[in-house]
Amino acid sequence: MHVHRTDPGHGAEVLSLAHVDHLLTETAIRTPAVRVARDGSVLPEASYTRGGSLAGKPLTGLVDPVKLMRLLDEGATIVLQGLQRYWSPVGDLVAELELELGHPCQANAYLTPPGAQGFAVHSDSHDVFVMQTHGTKMWEVHGDGGPGDLLLEPGVVAYLPTGTPHAARAQESVSLHLTIGINQLTWRTLLQREVGRLLAEVPDEHLPAGYLDDPARLADGLADHLAALADDVRRLDPAGLAAGQAEAFLSGRPPRMAGALLDRDALTTGITADTALRRRSGHPCVLVDDGDAVRVLIGDRVLRIPSRVRPALEHVATHTRLTPGELPSTDAESAVVLCRRLVREGLLEVAR
């Protein structure tokens, strides 16, 4: 376990008690975005949800704030799951962390009333960052030296490696903390994918009859297939596979288009050489040469842009804020055309 102290106000900027109040009481949030636990058990959805309708169509799993607050008063912990999907500040944090680590991440938040504990001692199958954003919570963390206590308060971030047994109890006030789980990509996963592709090319023929009495009948054929597979493995290109893995990750993240409607409105009123633009949070901008074009990996997809504007793209890749007029090796009109496209695609946004 590792503990880091930072600005106490930073966590509340990402997810505050007021933010959670808004999500739970003013929006049509539904399960499975919310679950509830008490004394180590997950409560049935019917105990905190209701039905409804929209345009004549039935809706199920709507969170009932009256039922939910009653359960909170009775000591239940409210869990907001997959927050990165519907709360932009958490989504920005998760997207930036994914680019730093190269691993998929997800975020949950835990709202626990004073003195309560939502879950018994347990361990997770992934690494976890824990950020306390409101109140305090005492964590019981089990390591090689036995259990130890750690008090988390706003500004304290803890890192728990995979498999670390832990439990946590709120102290004198309601506690809110954010956990970011790291869904690790592993060597085994990468090798299974590539070797599995080679195995799929092995002929799916029957084993020879009679091998039960004479297993040696399998030996020659097995030796041939193993040798062929070994040769195929040796021919794999590590550099190419590594580049492919990076490109797949940098073009397969969830879309991030917050503000896209406002940007389109700005496009109709005009973007000039002096318009202030910025890279959208959580978007990479990685350039891959591809003949007479450049593939631009922007997170959720790949753009293909003529290679003659590569210097301008390099400027975009290395600057979080810019204007079209700053782009090198291109005239003002071409720079504006390029920036308009990058705004439409979501890599850039108009600074507001």
Q: Any idea which residue has 């990402």 for tokens? A: 14
Domain ranges (residues) in the chain: 2-182, 260-350
Residue 259 to residue 269: CA distance in whole angstroms: 16
Token pair of 330 as six digits: 């291109």
99, 140 Cβ separation under 8 angstroms: no
Token look-up 């880091």 returns 4
281: exposed, middle or buried (Cβ count in 10 Å: 0-12, 13-18, 19+): middle
Give the pLDDT confidence score for residue 146 in this predicted structure.
Answer: 65
List the strands of the sheet with 277-279, edge to edge: 321-322, 277-279, 348-350
Q: What is the reported pLDDT for 270?
A: 86
Q: Which residue has the tokens 């910025």?
A: 278
Instruction: Give, in degrees to the nearest 5, the angle at Cα 111 between 26 and 74.
Output: 95
Question: What φ, ψ does residue 175 adopt, rounded to 5°?
Answer: -115, 140
Q: Which of 344, 255, 263, 345 is nearest to 296 (CA)?
A: 345
- Evaluate whether 287 touches 338 at the Cβ level (below 8 Å): no
The neighbouring-strand residues paired with 152 are: 137
Residue 147's pLDDT is: 72
Determine whether 271 is exposed, middle or buried from the number of CB atoms within 10 Å of its CB (0-12, 13-18, 19+): buried
> Are the CB atoms for 279 and 287 separated by under 8 Å?
no
Cα radius of gyration rounded to whole Å, the chain: 26
| pLDDT score at 25 | 96
pLDDT digits over 125-182, tens only? 999 999 999 999 999 998 776 678 999 999 999 999 999 999 999 999 999 999 999 9
Res 182: pLDDT: 96
In the chain, the amino acid numbered 191 is L
For residue 17, give the nearest of 121, 126, 100, 135 by alpha carbon: 135
Contact by Cβ (8 Å): 7, 133: no
**Alpha-carbon gap, residue 21 to 18, rounded angstroms:** 5
Residues 338 and 231: their CA atoms lie apart, in Å, by: 46
Is the sign of the CA dihedral 234, 240, 245, 248 positive or negative? negative
Domain at 2-182, CATH homologous superfamily = Cupin (2.60.120.650)
Q: pLDDT (tens digit, 0 to 9) for every residue of the chain, 352 residues total?
A: 889 888 888 889 999 999 999 999 999 999 999 999 998 899 999 999 999 998 999 989 999 999 999 999 999 999 999 999 999 999 999 999 999 999 999 999 999 999 999 888 889 999 999 999 999 999 999 877 667 899 999 999 999 999 999 999 999 999 999 999 999 999 999 999 999 999 999 999 999 998 999 999 899 899 999 999 999 999 999 999 999 999 999 999 999 999 999 999 999 888 999 999 999 999 999 999 999 999 999 999 999 999 999 999 999 999 999 999 999 988 999 999 999 999 999 999 999 8
* CATH class assigned to 260-350: alpha beta
Tens of pLDDT, residues 298-338: 999 999 999 999 999 999 999 999 999 999 988 999 999 99
Distance CA 167, CA 280 (A): 37
Task: In whole angstroms, give the CA distance from residue 84 to residue 107.
Answer: 6
The dihedral sign for the CA sequence 123, 125, 129, 130: negative
- Nearest Cα to Cα of residue 28 among 56, 64, 67, 57: 64
Q: Is the dihedral of CA 82, 88, 94, 95 positive or negative?
A: positive
Q: In the chain, what is the straight-line distance between the N-terminal and C-terminal CA atoms, in Å?
A: 40
DSSP E strands, 9-101: 34-38, 41-42, 49-54, 57-63, 77-80
What is the pLDDT of the chain when averaged over all its residues? 94
